Structure 1
Amino acid sequence: MPIRHRLLAGLVAVLWGLNFLAIHASLQQFPPYFLVALRWTLIAVPTVLLVPRPQVPTRYLIGYGVGFGVLQFAFLYSAMDAGMPTGLASLVLQSSAPFTVLLGVLVGERLTRTRALGVIVAVIGLVIVGSQRVGGAAWWPFVLTLCAGFGWAIGNLSSKLAHPPKPLHLTLWMTVVPPLPMLGLALLLEGPQRIADSVTSSGSAWGAWSGLLYTCVLGSVAGSGIWTWLMTRHPASTVAPYSMLVPVVGLSAAWIALGERPSPVELVGCVVVVAGVLLTSRTPAPPIVRAVAIDPGEDAAHREGTTASAVLHQ
């Protein structure tokens, strides 16, 4: 991968890592469910007006929107609102990687030894981090963040099964799914009065709206756009490991901006989780194909049959 593309991958990791600070700022003003609805609405409206609908089955579009847009962010925002440290949230959310591997097995994907080891290592790391959350009220935000990672995994699986010809269109149209269910949850659980107060009050308004715009424009549109562009030009195994810089940026930014300092045990757990996720993202080496001599007539027939088969499967 050229150095320019590597820098772009690193830029995305920085944008996504700082995303957690932006979410933290927005939660100082808005209740979590309403904030999720607001975030996706700001992207969904221009998407419906300007972006063609992706040519994918509706069930996978809805599955992607429910998993990635509803479950992930409803649980993540609730966890951070309930006290999950901003930096640790960026780390625990990476549980989506082992969850994705395990869900993939259910739809017939092969679980290699390396990926199985990665799942085990990541789980051990999460247990180490979670052990510091046991007791008092700290465990519940941790569990909510794990649920967010599981929601992300459902979104990953749905987007993979969709086989979108234009992945960015699917990513943008996914945002059409969450606004109504999230607004319904917000009205039911947070109430119209709290929602109205969050919009009209001026307590942390500047920081909250700035954080919301950051998550929409830089975190979602710019970050996802660059990432999708890179994934279409390079093997996933080359690009995906750069996502492991996200918790590094998230933990560092929270340390600097918010004074959050993970305990030594939590830092050890962070390293173990990152190692596990890197293992789960490894792509197995392709099998070695030996060249054999083929009769010219037989080769032509083989090519014709292969072409017909390809047409039938398109």
Structure 2
Amino acid sequence: MNRAAPAPLPTRDLVAALVVVAIWGVNFVVMKWGLRYFTPFQLGAARYLCAALPLVFFVRPPAVHWRWVLLYGLFQGVGQFGMVFLALHVGLTAALASVLVQTQVFFTALWAFLLLHERPGRPLVIGMGLAAIGLACFGLHFTSPGASAGDVTVLGVGLALCGASSWAASNIVVRRAQQQSPGYDPLAFVGWSCLVPILPFIALSAWADADAARWLQPATWAALPLAGWGAALFLGWVATIGGYGLWTLLLTRHPANRVAPFSLGVPVVGLTAGTLVLGEVISPWQWAGVAFVVMALACVVLGPRWVAARGRRG
């Protein structure tokens, strides 16, 4: 007996996923801007301070066990963005970061299979294969003769991959929280979890940043340019509350291995933004990677609808 094909995402959830893709693609350029005014740990504290305040004064704590809020805040906050901010600081372009972070799709599918017993459908498997070829093309750029890798370091790439694995862990936390507490408020979950990374980031800044004490002076806050405030507010309100609020909502409605592949569209937006805004150059190998990522996204998004249509005709 053939296994039933997974139902396609409802239109509203599909639109929400594409909005998240656009926000997170631009997000990497904003991170680069923010790191002009903050160190990585300071930017992390500023991001989550903006995300948590004033939201937590207007929403009740989510109806989930506190450990899921704590784990999500640590994995998604300190783990994912602590690593990504460090990667962008020590040597990684916004465009390449938008690609490497999407390896979370593979980590998520692996952990969802091992821990949640979620089996991937055929469109997802094909899409992940195409995405793997695309990521390989991005990597081949740095082995080609004459390729410039001055803005990229091995440490930066490694930190980005660590950030991706932490993002995958946060996806699994969301699914486990949903299994134990169905119907919880995703906005409240994301908002209250934003309180978790603030103190760890402040502690890391106090330990690692030589200029951390300057933030105790009101003159430092007053002298911060509008671009610095804008970057922190965008990362906190739009990318975190808006983006992760929608992302978490999708994860509460659908299996993790159905939602995570939509992030494959983020490199397309990230590469475009990096090129137009930061002047980053895209090589032929990188364009090949973009093409495979677009095909992977089309397969993941349209594949279930095509399979469902074939099932109805059959």
TM-score (norm 2): 0.76
Distance 2:190 2:53 in 1: 14
160, 168, 172: which one aligns with 1:153: 168
Identity of aligned residues (%): 32
Aligned length: 287
Cross-structure match for 2:153: 138
Shift in Å at residue 132 of structure 1?
A: 3.3
- Looking at structure 1, the residues matched to 247 and 72 of structure 2 have their Cα atoms a distance apart, in angstroms, of 17
Which residue is 2:187 aligned to? 168
Alpha-carbon distance in 1 for matches of 2:25, 2:187: 20
Q: How does 1:62-73 map to 2 (within 5 A)?
A: 62-73=70-81
Task: Report 1:1-314 matches (<5 A).
Answer: 9-112=17-120, 114=122, 115-133=124-142, 138-163=153-178, 164=181, 165-193=184-212, 196=215, 200=220, 205-226=225-246, 243-273=263-293, 275-276=295-296
Q: Does the aligned pair in 2 maintain the 1:98–1:280 contact within 8 Å? A: no
* Contact 2:91/2:153 (8 A) holds in 1: yes
Q: Supply the distance in 1 between the matched residues of 2:293 and 2:15 (Cα, whole angstroms).
A: 24
Give the Cα–Cα distance (whole angstroms) in 2 for the partners of residues 208 and 81 of structure 1: 16
Letter in 1 for 2:96: L
Distance in 2 (CA, whole Å) between partners of 1:274 and 1:152 is: 21
Amino acid at match of 1:41: L
Higher mean alpha-carbon deviation, 175-184 vs 192-201, is at 192-201
TM-score by length of 1: 0.76
Kindly indicate whether the alpha-carbon contact (under 8 Å) linking 1:9 and 1:242 is maintained by their aligned counterparts in 2.
Answer: yes
**Shift in alpha-carbon separation, 1:76–1:255, aligned structure 2, 3 A:** same
Matches of 2:108 and 2:209 in 1, distance apart?
Answer: 31
How far did residue 93 of structure 1 move?
Answer: 1.3
Counterpart code for 1:270: V
Give the drift of 1:210: 1.1
Q: Which moved more, 1:73-82 or 1:210-219?
A: 210-219
What displacement does 1:39 show? 0.9
8 Å contact kept, 1:95–1:122: no
Please report how far the alpha carbon of residue 154 of structure 1 lies from its aligned counterpart in structure 2 after TM superposition: 0.6
Task: Give yes or no for contact 2:174–2:251 (8 Å, CA) kept in 1.
Answer: no
Matches of 2:289 and 2:240 in 1, distance apart?
28
Cα deviation, residue 202, structure 1: 8.5
**C-alpha distance after superposition, 1:2-27 (max 9, x if no partner):** 87876665444322222222111110
Distance 1:173 1:202, change over 3 A: closer
CA shift digits 1:42-81 (9 cap, x unpaired): 2224343322111222222222111111110011111111
Q: Give the distance between the partners of 2:250 and 2:300, measured in 1 at CA.
A: 20
- CA deviation profile, 1:141-190 (whole Å, cap 9, x unmatched): 12211111111001000011001522222121221211111111111112
Counterpart for residue 294 of structure 1: none
Change in Cα spacing, 1:66 to 1:235, as seen in structure 2 (3 Å) is: closer
* Partner Cα distance (1:82, 1:89) in 2: 12
Where in structure 2 are there 5+ consecutive unaligned residues? 1-8, 144-148
Q: Structure 2: how far apart are the matches of 1:110 and 1:228? A: 17
User: Do the aligned residues in 2 keep the contact of 1:125 with 1:269 (CA within 8 Å)?
Assistant: yes
Aligned to 2:146: none
Alpha-carbon spacing, 1:3–1:279, altered in 2? closer, same or farther (3 Å): closer
Contact 1:16 1:223 in 2 (8 A): yes
Q: CA deviation at 1:267?
A: 2.3
